[in-house]
């Protein structure tokens, strides 16, 4: 059996980077800061998020720097070859399937968390 599920809750590090493709597909990239459950942790862990489709459009419309969100998705690795050195490079990316807007009533007019996803 294989399982690749990542669930994170944290604050968005910057406004969404949104790309619209000629095919009509939407891609949204975000960074997410997540605090560890430890007393000694001063610095958050940072994750790169990749969101596609309708969920990406929701993120583009409602998520901003500092927004509290929850995501569920899978871990993947982007791989490429460095143009200058020719070295193989990679970076972990969370491919988001479900997005939860967890902001306060002031952040979110309905005052309740909202769930968006392709599940």
pLDDT digits (tens, 9 = 90+) for 72-85: 999 999 999 999 99
Fold observed for domain 6-109 = OB fold (Dihydrolipoamide Acetyltransferase, E2P) (2.40.50)
Q: What is the predicted pLDDT for the residue at 118? A: 55
Radius of gyration over every alpha carbon of the chain, rounded to an integer in angstroms: 16
On the CB side of 83, how many CA atoms lie within 13 Å of its CA?
0
76 forms bridges with which residues in the sheet? 93
For residue 87, the surrounding DSSP H or E stretch is none
78 forms bridges with which residues in the sheet? 91
Residue 119 reports pLDDT greater than 50: no
Tens-place pLDDT, residues 41-93: 678 999 999 999 999 999 999 999 999 999 999 999 999 999 999 899 999 99
pTM: 0.81
Q: Which two tokens stand for residue 61?
A: 């419309």
Buried b (16+ CB within 10 A) or exposed e, 29-41: bbbbeeeeeeeee
């Amino acid at each position: 059996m294989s399982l690749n599920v990542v669930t994170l809750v944290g604050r968005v590090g910057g406004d969404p980077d949104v790309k619209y493709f000629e095919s009509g597909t939407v891609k949204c990239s975000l960074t997410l800061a997540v605090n560890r459950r430890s007393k000694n942790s001063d610095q958050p862990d940072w994750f790169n998020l990749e969101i596609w489709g309708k969920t990406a459009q929701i993120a583009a419309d409602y998520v901003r720097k500092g927004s509290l969100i929850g995501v569920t998705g899978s871990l993947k690795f982007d791989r490429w070859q460095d143009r200058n050195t020719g070295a193989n490079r990679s970076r972990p990316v969370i491919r988001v399937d479900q997005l939860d807007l967890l902001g306060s009533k002031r952040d979110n007019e309905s005052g309740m968390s909202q769930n968006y996803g392709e599940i």
